[in-house]
Structures are given as C-alpha cells and as structure tokens.
Amino acid sequence: MYISRNLEQWNAFLQMLKIAFEENKAQEFLTLLLTADERDAVGLRLQIVSQLIDKNMPQREIQQNLNTSAATITRGSNMIKTMDPDFMQWMKQHLDLIEKTKRIFTALSHLFSPKWWKKTGSELSFVFFRRFCFVADFSLCTYSIFRLYGTTKNR
C-alpha cells in the first residue's frame, strides 16, 4: 500500500526534534527513530554535502573516498543546487567550524597523550583534561548532526 508523503508528519517530526535538542534528548530521540544503518546513512549524507560544498575534489573522488555510489553523490549535488544560497552559506560556515573543532581536539589529544602525562607525573591533570575533552566534545555532539549517531569517543 502506497502512502503519500505527509507534510504534517514531517513538521511533527521537526517539532519533536527541536524539543529533543532543547531538552538535551536528541541522541535518544534519533536512536529511537533511526536504525544503526539509517544513522550511518545520515552521517554519510552529511559528509557528502560537506565535501560537495567545499568543491575541492571531483564527485568521482568523493564517491571513492566515501565508498558510496555515484547516484548518492549526484542526489546530494542536485539537492545543493535547489537550496537557498544563504542556507548553503550557513551550512558551510557550520561544517567548517565543526571540522576546525575536530582538528583542534585531535591535535590536543595527540599533544597531551596519556604517555606524556605519565612522564610529567601529572595523572590528576590528565584525568581532568580527558574529562574536559569529553564535555567539550559532548557539547559539539549536540551541535553536530553527524556526531548524533554515536561516534563520540569516550575520552
């Protein structure tokens, strides 16, 4: 049986998603509604959009890097063409911010590795630093949709 797309249902979902974010329940809400494969697909879709917005590499290279089909990349590209340019600028700005934050956390975690902390004899500082990174990363988790599906590392 075919059921037509219902804008009312979509708007109800968006309203619930907004409430879930406001009440810090987004992770649980999306985990309830999406399977692990669907959460992975959302994450992949965001990576595709991010790389298409950057325009640094051809679609074929994006396809190979992300191990996905040409049709998936083309769908993303076609959707970008239909979107409001102001919205796409907003997306680029926020995706760039997320990428910069990821690079900072990666650099800090390498710089302040457990081995370094043990050499300096500062275990307590290491525990504090790891907790700080987890808290900071968690706030990023609520900010970034591709981290909602469980890729936040235990820090």
More confident site: 107 or 133 = 107
4-13, 65-74, 126-135, 136-145: range with highest mean pLDDT: 65-74
Largest CA distance in the chain: 66
Buried b or exposed e, range 69-86, using 16+ CB within 10 angstroms: eeebbeebeeeeeeeeee
65 token code pair: 């890097």
Query: What confidence score (pLDDT) does residue 76 get?
Result: 92
Where would I find the beta strands (DSSP E) of the chain?
none
Mean pLDDT of all residues in 14-43: 94
For 58, phi then psi, to 5°, come to -65, 155
With 60 as the cut, is the pLDDT of residue 34 above it? Answer: yes
Write down how long the chain is.
155
- State the burial class of residue 55 (Cβ atoms within 10 Å of its Cβ: 0-12, 13-18, 19+): exposed
> Smallest Cα–Cα separation from 143: which of 108, 105, 99, 110?
99
Mean pLDDT of all residues in 7-21: 92
Mean pLDDT of all residues in 50-65: 91
With 70 as the cut, is the pLDDT of residue 114 above it? Answer: no
pLDDT category, 65, cuts 50, 70, 90? very high
Buried b or exposed e, range 116-138, using 16+ CB within 10 angstroms: ebeeeeeeeebeebbeebeeebe
Instruction: Render pLDDT for 76-98 as a digit per residue (tens, 0 to 9).
Output: 999 999 999 999 999 999 998 88
| Residue where the block lists tokens 């680029």 | 92
**Model confidence pTM above 0.85:** no
Query: What confidence score (pLDDT) does residue 87 get?
Result: 94
Query: What confidence score (pLDDT) does residue 73 get?
Result: 94
Instruction: Render pLDDT for 127-147 as a digit per residue (tens, 0 to 9).
Output: 444 545 554 444 444 333 333
Task: Give CA–CA dist 66/80, Å, rounded.
Answer: 18
